[in-house]
Amino acid sequence: MSSTSTRAGRTGAPFSRRIAPRAGHGFVAAYVVLLIVFGVVPTVYAIYFAFTNAGNRFTGLSNFTAAAADFRFIPAVEHVALYLVFWLAALVVFVVGLALLLHRLAVRGVSRSLRFLYYIPGALAGAASVMVWLFLLDPTVSPIGFLLRALGYDTFGQLIAPGHLAVLFTCIAFWTGAGGWIVVMYGALNNISTDILEAARIDGAGPWRTARQIEIPLLRKWIVYMVILAFAGGTQLFVEPQLLSQASNGVAGRDYSLNQLSYDFAFQNNNVNGAAAISVELMLIGLIVAAVFVARSRFFDAD
Amino acid sequence: MPTDTRRPALPVPSGTARGARPRRREQPRRAGRRMLPNPLAAVVLMLFLLFFVVPVLWLVLAATKTDGQLVQSNPLAFGSWHALRVNWDKLTAYQSDAIFLWLRNSAVYSFGALVITLCVAIPAGYALAMTEFRGRRALLVATLVVMLMPNTTLVVPLFLEINAVHLIGSMWSIILPYAFYPFGVYLTYIYFSTALPRELLDAARLDGCSEFGAFTRVALPLAAPIVALVGFFSFVANWTNYFLPYVMLPQSSQFPVQVGLGTLLDNVPQFNPTVGSLAVQRPELALATLLAIIPVLVVFLFSQRFLVAGLLAGATKG
Amino acid sequence: MTAKVRAVSAKRSGKGRRRAGLLAAGGALALAAVTACGGGTSTGSAAPQQGFTEAPQAGGALTVWVDSTRLAAAQLYHKEHPSVKMTIVTYDGDANGSNYLQTKVDLFDRTGSGWPDVVFSTQNNEVSWAVPAAFTAPLNKGLIPQSTLAGWATGANNPCLVNGTLYCLRNDLAQTVLWYNSALMKRWGYQVPATWEQYEALGQKVAAQHPGYLVGSAGDTFTPEIFMWASKCGANQITGAKKVTVNTTSANCTRMASLLDTLIKDKTMSTSSVFSSDFDKNDAGKILMLPGPAWYGGALFQGTFKTPKGQIAVAPMPQWSGDSAPSVGNVGGGTWLLSAHSKNLKAATAFLTWVTTSNDYQAKVAPGYPAYAAAAKIWLANQASSGYYTGDITAPLQAAANQVWPGWGYGQFSQEAIWASTVTPGLNAGKAIVSMLPAWQKAIVNYASSDGYQVKQ
């Protein structure tokens, strides 16, 4: 027993787990019920929709081919791919960078207030921020109007040109999403032993080297985890184009992403089967990337 | 306009430094930090502060203006207390205090689901991490698959299910789906598997504790951080969800505040020109938005201490 | 220790599969239960009369869905008829591109219950999905007498007609007229244009003599409904339940497009939406003329721009010279639908008739120009006597109500959304509308096809 207790919170042997498998069932019973009712059944039903037609007859892959043949499908794939590049790059670089900077601050109060202030936009989800962005992106009334006009945009319409949308959506998504991730990364940084950092400081490492050689490697697991979730969220992009479409009365952001196309199929054409086909595709992409991560980090094992 | 707002929730960092000697975290000055921040760092932090805060500041100031001032005056100028008062009166007059009804509904749905989530997810995550039973891996895989499925096509089956048990239109049609929070289970799973030493549980079992006893007497007291974390993220996800209540709830008196805001938006003349005398002006909408986000921020402030602090509490043992 | 480890692992893999099997079985059972309960609609036992199979009539409370603007109508009816039990539900009215009604009806169809009895929609194209879904009841096969139906403005109920059967009733009209600033016109000595040629010439004159002033706006999503529709452009000829003919490059379309391009180049036609902040800030006080729908008067001039009273007047929409059949466009309106599943047809029909034709609501309370001609007369008189407008507004509005060109229909696809995503970005980038007409055509064809329409070009 003592040989297995050298590392905190971990034993190699499943000895202690073997006890009481039935109790394990008791603990998860309520969750399993919810999982089946609100998770498995709707998902299986959705997959069923993807392979059948409106008359409940099995149709093989025809929903998938029909969805792919829609004139909005290929542009949506391109949009989402471009958005993912911007979004993942911005998230990783800025979230990790800001967390590192906040962690270096000596005064706790400032760090805590900044984390709170960075988080506030996260509370403005969806419908709540339509008006905010409508005004923010209009150079005539925006608080950053001088900046937009300096960049050469005089009207809202010029700013929401199709070529700018990937960047705009990245900005909006980052604005709402980064605060929470910064808090999480900050917590991860707090778990790094101060001895290591002290040793590095004594060795003469400046902030850049410490970050590159100590902090980021120790954060790698969490960065990868953040990338996985951001990837799945990015492929399922919906809220940001929908909100810009509402703010601009349909000029920008309509049919921009695959998830919006799925939504249109379901609720405009009553084509739940086509919508399910796209949803299944999005789920599969997310699963493949997650599976790679899970396999490489042995996520499902004890720790 | 329906929006799908269930966002992926966030993971909790586990003890990445194994075998670290315990350090008291309540130190005002950390080793290796200088008192004066690097000026470049300060500039970067300030720039991002402006990026995050200026739109919110605009929103706060917008609530103090009239609609005309919103367009004509300086975006970051203060309006007037009088205009704020007028906006407040008009907002509360909308369908006679609908905004408070919506806030109350949101609170009921979010807290109700939160309680159930905690009662379900914490034991489930504990069991997944600390006990071995048949189907453990299958459960983890199933949870992951379900989490990655886009919500759009889940609405129809969910509606049919809720209808089959005649719960359409009752608050349970919202609370029960909200209570299913697989990410809370994953958070708990990670936390317990990395931060809770097995030795404690083994000792409790050797002492004759039942499994449930070991859970309540050993694991739960150490689980305060994860309870707060799961609670906060579950609360925010429930509070900001738009699409599920939009589809499930027939009466506007049952709407949570997110859907209520969508209703207000539909009555803004710039978005819907034919509203006539029932128009909701944009500053009122701004005020409503501020009311809608205040609870989230309050809960954040309350739980922020747990969000970054005590996760090490488990790692200090052993 | 090692032996036990191996034993545990073996146990884990074997039982794990069984557990997964249990999960799947449980899921399948639940799924079967749900599918058994779902689906299927109630069938009426009454013989098909009045053109459709009625649901068994059970009476009970009348369920009415309205948007918040029409809530006043439902409440007024309840006040005047206290014996009628009503359940009034407000929803978004399908405004802003929402598909709420269609979504909910689809869900109700799957569960077999829950439909409202009467529902208001801000959109005119609900029948494009509601008739195939058998949601809406035919109204001209006995439910509402022909004499009543004849009281609507000419062509007002066209969006509700499918193969000669009327499936909804129009609530209000939004016929386009020429709004203008009478004070400025007089001051500068201009004549109100009667033809598009005169309108274009005046626009060019204003550009030279009073730069900065506007004669119109082409930046809205409903711009095609004001200009293209009035010009008889064949971009949206709905010829059947799921049939459409699209031709955006005909002479009628091209000459209107080049008129708009000329004035845009001269900067007397704005490319910003009239509801945008920059229009409000920079242009609201510089409007000489503005072709637009009937509701511009209240919503735009009085509401948003707060133009001082006594300046705004109304003239008939310009026509192409030599055109013997004057035509105007239409931007909006709203429709009332009666559910074919209603268990309370008598009360529902009574409410429907009252709300679309009564003077108490349509003439006195309704914010929009009533589609029912008799109520419209009184409504107009009230507007005129308000003292805000100058000159006679009733004659042009009344005339235009009967001149809406019938060649532009309402399909399931939204013409406004197509223009917004196809043409408006090009306008913002400085492209000419004439150059974008083929792209506009392609987009309409694409959207119509993906909505299941048979498209002729």
A221-241 residue pLDDT tens = 777 778 878 898 899 999 999
User: A21 contacts in B (CB within 8 Å)?
Assistant: 131-134
Q: Are residues B103 and B251 in the same domain?
A: yes
Q: Could you give the number of structural domains in chain B? A: 2
Q: How far is CA C209 from CA C46, C183, C214, C302, in A?
A: 71, 16, 12, 27
C265 near C200, Cβ under 8 Å?
Answer: no
Cβ atoms within 10 Å, residue C54 = 18
User: B123 contacts in A (CB within 8 Å)?
Assistant: 27-28, 30-31
A73 near A261, Cβ under 8 Å?
Answer: yes
Q: How far is CA B124 from CA A91, B128, B136, B268, C378, in A?
A: 31, 6, 10, 46, 68
A31 near B124, Cβ under 8 Å?
Answer: yes
Cβ atoms within 10 Å, residue A296 = 9
Nearest chain B Cα to A111, which residue? B45
Q: What is the pLDDT of residue A213?
A: 82
What's A34-67 look like in SS3? HHHHHHHHHHHHHHHHHCECCCCCECCCHHHHHH
> Is residue C440's pLDDT more than 90?
yes
- How far apart are the C-alpha atoms of B278 and C259, rounded to whole Å? 37
Extract the tokens encoding C208: 């030279």
C41 touches chain B (CB under 8 A): no
Whether B12 maps to a domain, the answer reads: no
- How far apart are the C-alpha atoms of C390 and A182, rounded to whole Å? 60
Q: Are residues B105 and B209 in the same domain?
A: yes
With contact defined as 3+ CB pairs under 8 Å, the chains touching C are A, B
> Is residue A3's pLDDT more than 80?
no
- How far apart are the C-alpha atoms of C353 and A205, rounded to whole Å? 83
B15 near B191, Cβ under 8 Å?
Answer: no
Per-domain boundaries in chain A: 73-254
Whether B278 maps to a domain, the answer reads: yes
B135: left (phi over 0), alpha (psi -120 to 50) or beta: left
Q: Are residues B124 and B201 in the same domain?
A: yes
Q: Which amino acid is at C205?
A: K
- How far apart are the C-alpha atoms of B177 and A39, rounded to whole Å? 9
Whether B25 maps to a domain, the answer reads: no
Q: Are residues B68 and B208 in the same domain?
A: no
- Cα-based angle B22, B25, B30 (whole degrees, multiple of 5): 105
A252 near C425, Cβ under 8 Å?
Answer: yes
Architecture of domain C176-330+404-456: 3-Layer(aba) Sandwich (3.40)
Give SS3 for C66.
strand
Q: What is the pLDDT of residue A8?
A: 37
Band (C48; pLDDT cuts 50, 70, 90): low
> Is residue A272's pLDDT more than 80?
yes
- How far apart are the C-alpha atoms of A13 and C5, rounded to whole Å? 7
Q: Are residues B43 and B155 in the same domain?
A: no
More confident residue, A295 or A85: A85
**Residue whose tokens read 């269609």:** C102
With contact defined as 3+ CB pairs under 8 Å, the chains touching A are B, C
- How far apart are the C-alpha atoms of C279 and C259, rounded to whole Å? 21
Chain-chain contact of C111 with B252 (C-beta, under 8 angstroms): no
**Would you tell me which CATH number, out of the four given (3.30.70.2740, 3.40.190.10, 3.20.20.70, 3.10.290.10), belongs to the domain C62-173+332-379?**
3.40.190.10
- How far apart are the C-alpha atoms of B237 and B9, rounded to whole Å? 8
Calculate the CA C410 to chain-centre distance.
Answer: 8
Q: Are residues B74 and B219 in the same domain?
A: no
User: A270 contacts in C (CB within 8 Å)?
Assistant: 102, 106, 129, 133
**Average pLDDT of every residue of chain C:** 87
C204 near C258, Cβ under 8 Å?
Answer: no
Q: What is the pLDDT of residue A185?
A: 82
User: A252 contacts in C (CB within 8 Å)?
Assistant: 421, 425
Extract the tokens encoding B206: 């050797």
Chain-chain contact of A46 with B126 (C-beta, under 8 angstroms): no
Give SS3 for C90.
strand
DSSP at C226: I
Q: Please identify, among B22, B50, B79, the residue that sits at the C-terminal boundary of a domain.
A: B79
Q: Are residues B65 and B114 in the same domain?
A: no
Report the range out of A282-296, B65-79, B103-117, C45-59 with the highest average pLDDT. Answer: B103-117
Q: Are residues B44 and B115 in the same domain?
A: no
- Helix-, strand-, coil-residue percentages of chain A, each rounded to 5: 75, 0, 25
Q: Are residues B267 and B178 in the same domain?
A: yes
Rg (CA), chain A: 24
- How far apart are the C-alpha atoms of C149 and B87, rounded to whole Å? 43
| Domain harbouring B172, CATH code | 1.10.3720.10
Comparing C-alpha atoms, which of B295, B303, B305, B286 is closest to residue B61?
A: B286
**Residue whose tokens read 């945009």:** A153
Give SS3 for C172.
strand
Q: Are residues B191 and B259 in the same domain?
A: yes
Pairing of strands C243-245, C289-293: unpaired
Range of the domain at B75: 37-79
User: B156 contacts in C (CB within 8 Å)?
Assistant: 107, 110
- How far apart are the C-alpha atoms of B288 and B298, rounded to whole Å? 16
Picking from C416, C429, C450, the nearest residue to A250 by CB comes out as C416
What's the rounded mean pLDDT across residues A164-177?
Answer: 94
In terms of Cβ atoms closer than 10 Å to its own Cβ (0-12, 13-18, 19+), residue C89 is middle
Chain-chain contact of C67 with B271 (C-beta, under 8 angstroms): no
Comparing C-alpha atoms, which of C172, C276, B224 is closest to residue A160?
A: C276
Q: Are residues B116 and B185 in the same domain?
A: yes
**Residue whose tokens read 């704005």:** C270
The CATH T-level fold of domain A73-254 is: MetI-like fold (1.10.3720)
Q: Tens digit of pLDDT per residue, chain B (318 long)?
A: 333 334 444 444 443 334 334 444 444 444 445 555 578 888 999 999 999 999 999 999 999 999 888 888 888 989 899 999 999 999 998 888 889 999 999 999 999 999 999 999 999 998 888 888 888 889 988 998 888 888 878 888 898 889 889 888 888 999 999 999 988 888 788 778 777 778 888 888 888 788 788 888 888 887 877 788 788 889 998 999 888 898 888 877 889 999 999 888 888 888 887 777 778 889 999 999 999 999 999 998 888 776 655 444 434 333
Band (A20; pLDDT cuts 50, 70, 90): low
**Residue whose tokens read 């970050």:** A211
Q: What is the pLDDT of residue A2?
A: 35
Contacts of A94 (CB under 8 A, 6+ apart): A174, A178, B48
Percent of chain C at pLDDT exceeding 90: 70
> Is residue C39's pLDDT more than 50?
no
C34 touches chain B (CB under 8 A): yes
**Residue whose tokens read 């008189």:** C381
Q: Are residues B191 and B254 in the same domain?
A: yes
- Give the dihedral of Cα atoms A182, A184, A187, A189; nearest 10 deg: -60
